[in-house]
Structure 1
Amino acid sequence: MVFKRSLYKSPAQLRLMVAPGLATAASLDAVQSAVAAGMSTLELDTIAEQAILAAGGSSNFKLEQGYHHTICSSVNDEVVHGIPGGRILQPGDIVSIDSGAILDGWNGDAARSFVLPDPTRPEVVAERQKLSDVTEQSLWQGIARLASANHLNEVGEAIEDYILSQGEYGILTDYIGHGIGRRMHEEPPVFNYRVRAKGPEVKPGLVVAIEPMVVLGGPDTYVKDDGWTVATEDGKAAAHWEHSIAVHKDGIWVLTATDGGAAGLAPFGITPTPIA
């Protein structure tokens, strides 16, 4: 497959993607500081929006036709695209928050999962926390592979290998990562598992959102009656982690991490380099 030259951003365009990435990170930092049992998912939506506005951006999720919120909030068996509303978070819930910002016409996109404490069900909390940890670490495995890959689909190999090494987890195949730039969802597709095609060449200018979605049971899902929320068929819990990453002439930079990915990449001996 031949990929368009426009797949790769110029150095100037990469620099413009730093601010929306930081605004996206700020929204998730704000949610992480606030999320607790007893809160509604709509309250978290307001917190995320305020953080994005304070950073000078606006929600890019609201630009999706028919979607009217800043975040997606997916709880327990919900994997992605959950709509914020009056649902009150309960002790022991696992909630995945996906957020994105647009600033000066450029986009950021990231997600994190949080497990709420529940001293009455320690085994449930431990199982869900491990699910979240495995998903997060698989994301960093993919980002680390991106730093040395020749072709993009090596990322999916690294993600799948790590997840399968950690236990019997399901990897969603119907929902994958993507390129990002002027639009939140661009080419190329970013798989979280092995595929036969190599994918585009990894070289300066490539910007992708890597987002593994992992479940405790099988990978089969359905869309709820709201037309958005994706949930597991077997009702088992799910986790979702995501970062937007730029490849540039001096290395890689995680646009949606305030440290550029330094902490997450340190165990791999990789030091991310700011975009000059």
Structure 2
Amino acid sequence: MTTLIDGKALAKKTNEITQQRVSSLAHQGITPGIAVVIVGEDPASLIYTRNKHRKAQKLGIYSVLNQFPATISQAELLTEIDRLNADEQIDGILVQQPLPVQIDPAVVTQAIAPDKDVDGLNPLNLGKLFAGEGGHYPVACTPRGIMKMFSEYHVDLTGANVVIVGRSILVGKPMLALLNNANATVTLAGSRTKNLSALTRSADILIVATGVPQLIKEADVKDGAVVIDVGINRLPSGKLAGDVDFAGVKDKARLLTPVPGGVGPMTIASLMEQTVDLAQWRHHG
């Protein structure tokens, strides 16, 4: 019997705790702040950033949404990031991707101060994560949200055979480090990995983040596996679909995230939670 992981319910629970923390900090004269920067008019990015902005405001977080034309130069964008790095009201900075061709995402990520890197993608923070360092530093929000799902649904990671399909810096690579630090045995694959199906069928836990609609079919999944579908794709019919064939896998997996309503809500909840973390760490260490 497959259990669907309810990302909406877990996000609601997470946001309630975040709101309580924001209220507690307010009594100390501290208001966590986030700045979301978007370049251009990508429709999906505009919806996503506005949702983040509204959610932050609803939770009592100070939020600014800075939109720039697609023609902005890299130098001009870096000047804006420098300004936000120095802004005492801002604890977390997020630059929404994709970015126009004239802007190097790696340069932008490196320009964000590590202690304001709410997306957890600055090389210093990634290095700490891969080194398994203790202490306070941000980690990528989607993997952070997935780890909370594992905790909530009592998924034992110790010694588990995990396969991640998708090697992005946003999901696959930080997910690898988090799971490795949790004593799982992790394989990082891509959509072009040879004999991918044989590899995914060996996984106790399968995490898919490729952007390829319904890449993973029923035959690619081990009986009783935990399947985390990070993808969200709009099909020609207009319907949303994940990277996993939900209809085929739903009776085979032990735990499965739906699309939508699975990983997505937890990504935004983790972003809000981490913004409050950054404020707390800045003021209290």
TM-score range, shorter chain: under 0.3
Instruction: Please state which structure has a larger fraction of its residues in helix.
Output: 2
Instruction: Please state which structure has a larger fraction of its residues in strand.
Output: 1
Structure number, greater radius of gyration? 2
- TM-score computed with the length of structure 1 as normaliser: 0.28
